[in-house]
């Protein structure tokens, strides 16, 4: 297929291909604005409010828990992002080096479902917000508008996503800082600092929310750093991503947490923001709407790359370009709109809960990914082998890695509590989901042991042959 007509500097021509050094450009600091702006979202504001509304922490306890959680979780996000310049390929393609060519399909499938779920959920949310801002536009029509706008940004691709977030970082960051100043300059409620109290369970639960928030972005971080020159190294993209993600999300979490403490208890978080910021409230609602659309373009972009990666796994000689990405984006757009419009509210809730439950499969993947890249392979992968039909040195199916991956999922079950299942030890820390920590620790211990045992067996066979 000839994709030349769509080659241009406007629409990204790459999909899942390796980005050669001759096409690399940009600076690491672009990752700061990307992840800063992306994380200033309504969901982050609402999540921050949970610290005092649900867990009843006081202001200082909530603040320390929010900061600690994001700083810790952001380390994982920053480390996956720093892989991009060194390998020059999307994150899911890179998973072939850990799981094998066909083995990676399991992770790709999980990730695709999560991307699509968040895309559908966000276009439903954007439709409601558009209708709220402009009542003349019916919810169904507004849903389509939000979906199309997000898809257009995703279709243009990598460079436009970076540019729009570079502008958005200043606009959204400035608006939230102005809102904070406005809120704190008003007379504070008499119990503002005393409301709530420190509890370990509440503090730890808030910490977990922040940490998991950051880790959940890991499956597509190198998608947005793979065009950077390899010469930027690891530390610069790591710091830019880590600082951007942490600063943006902490700002949004704290914004929501403070807003609900300035209004009568029980007020909805977004309504509290609108009330606590006076004339700036309606402006913030419009900016949040724009942010939802821009953020959702990343869900679309990641979903499309994952779907193309899955197909390309069976067609190793296929090199999809811009036209294929446009076609797949269009198909995802149509399918997502149909689901969003047809789904009843309770189905959408069910779907969101399903996606949140699936996030548990990302924890062992993240640990395996980081340990394999930084510890076992010393920050280097054979990209040619990754694209070979037989998987090259990485093979078609890495049984040992898949076994560790399944163990990392299974050990979470006794500690899990979600809309579908509650394990016998789910209340180990009341209100906190500790299953991800169990998985993180177990996978960290087992993965290098399995790999070391495998290497010892290989060395033993080679010596016996000699």
Any idea what the CATH number is for the domain that residue 97 is in? 1.10.4160.10
d(CA 105, CA 85): 23
Secondary structure (DSSP) of 173-186 = HHHHHHHHHHHHHS
CA distances from 44 to 269, 291, 465 (A): 10, 12, 58
Helix residue ranges per DSSP H, 343-372: 345-358, 362-370
**Nearest of 295, 293, 251, 292 to residue 273 by alpha carbon:** 251
DSSP state letter for 187: P
Look up tokens 């609402």; give the residue.
46
The count of other CB atoms within 10 Å of the CB of residue 201 is 15
pLDDT of residue 350: 67
Q: Is residue 3 part of a domain?
A: no
Q: Is residue 159 part of a domain?
A: yes
Domain of 68, in residue numbers: 9-465
d(CA 313, CA 456): 30
What Rg value do the Cα atoms of the chain yield, rounded?
Answer: 22
pLDDT of residue 349: 66
β-strand partners of 417? 422
One pLDDT digit (tens) per residue for the chain, 466 residues = 344 444 445 788 888 899 999 899 889 999 999 999 999 988 888 889 989 988 999 999 999 999 999 999 999 999 999 999 999 999 999 999 999 999 999 999 989 988 888 898 888 888 888 887 888 999 899 999 999 999 999 999 889 999 999 999 999 999 999 999 998 888 888 778 878 899 998 999 899 999 989 998 898 899 999 999 999 999 999 999 999 999 999 999 999 999 988 888 777 888 888 888 888 988 998 898 899 899 899 999 999 999 999 999 999 888 888 889 999 999 999 999 998 888 766 665 666 677 667 778 899 999 999 999 999 998 999 999 999 999 999 999 999 999 999 999 999 999 988 777 888 998 888 878 889 999 999 999 999 988 875 554 433 443 344 4
Q: Nearest 5°: phi and psi at 24?
A: -80, 145
Domains identified in the chain, total number: 1
pLDDT of residue 126: 85
The CA-CA-CA angle for residues 314, 316, 318, to 5°, reads 105
Report the b/e string of 50-70 with b at 16+ CB within 10 A.
Answer: bbbbebbbbbebbbebbbbbb
Q: Is residue 1 part of a domain?
A: no
* Nearest-10 crossing angle of helices 362-370, 59-81: 50
Q: Is residue 265 part of a domain?
A: yes
pLDDT of residue 242: 97
How many residues appear in the chain? 466
pLDDT of residue 13: 85
Q: Is residue 2 part of a domain?
A: no
Q: Nearest 5°: phi and psi at 305?
A: -60, -40
pLDDT of residue 407: 96
């Amino acid at each position: 297929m000839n994709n030349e007509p769509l080659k241009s500097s406007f629409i990204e021509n790459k999909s899942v291909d390796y980005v050669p050094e001759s096409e690399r450009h940009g600076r690491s600091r672009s990752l700061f604005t990307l992840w800063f702006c992306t994380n200033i979202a309504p969901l982050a504001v609402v999540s921050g409010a949970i610290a005092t509304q649900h867990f009843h922490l006081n202001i200082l306890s909530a603040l320390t828990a929010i900061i600690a959680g994001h700083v810790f979780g952001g380390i994982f996000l920053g480390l996956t992002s720093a892989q991009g310049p060194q390998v020059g390929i999307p994150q899911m393609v890179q998973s072939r080096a850990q799981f094998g060519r066909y083995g990676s399909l399991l992770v790709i499938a999980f990730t695709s479902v999560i991307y699509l779920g968040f895309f559908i959920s966000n276009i439903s949310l954007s439709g409601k917000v558009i209708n709220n801002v402009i009542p003349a536009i019916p919810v169904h029509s507004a849903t389509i508008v939000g979906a199309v706008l997000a898809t257009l940004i995703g279709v243009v691709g990598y460079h436009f996503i970076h540019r729009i977030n570079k502008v958005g970082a200043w606009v959204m960051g400035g608006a939230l800082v102005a809102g904070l100043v406005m809120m704190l300059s008003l007379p504070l409620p008499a119990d503002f600092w005393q409301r709530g109290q420190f509890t370990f369970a509440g503090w730890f639960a808030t910490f977990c929310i922040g940490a998991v928030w950051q880790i959940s972005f890991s499956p597509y971080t190198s998608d947005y750093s793979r065009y950077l020159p390899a010469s930027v190294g690891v530390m610069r993209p790591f710091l830019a991503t880590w600082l951007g993600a942490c600063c943006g999300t902490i700002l949004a979490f704290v914004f929501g947490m403070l807003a609900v403490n300035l209004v009568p208890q029980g007020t909805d978080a977004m309504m509290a923001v609108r009330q606590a910021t006076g004339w700036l409230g309606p402006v913030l609602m419009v900016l949040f709407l724009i942010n939802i659309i821009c953020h959702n373009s990343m869900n679309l972009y990641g979903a499309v790359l994952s779907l193309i990666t899955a197909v390309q796994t069976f067609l190793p000689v296929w090199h999809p370009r811009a036209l294929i990405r446009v076609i797949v984006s269009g198909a995802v757009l149509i399918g997502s709109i149909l689901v969003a419009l047809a789904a009843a509210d309770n189905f959408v809730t069910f779907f969101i809960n399903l996606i949140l439950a699936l996030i548990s499969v990302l924890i062992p993947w993240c640990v395996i990914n980081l340990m394999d890249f930084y510890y076992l392979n010393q920050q280097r992968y054979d990209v040619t082998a990754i694209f070979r039909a037989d998987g090259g040195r990485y093979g078609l199916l890495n049984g040992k890695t898949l076994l560790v991956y399944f163990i990392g999922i299974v050990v979470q079950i006794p500690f899990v509590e979600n809309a579908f299942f509650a394990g016998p030890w789910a209340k180990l820390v009341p209100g906190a989901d500790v299953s991800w920590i169990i998985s993180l620790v177990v996978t960290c211990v087992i993965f290098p042991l399995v790999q070391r045992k495998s290497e010892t067996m290989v060395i033993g066979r080679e010596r016996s042959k000699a």
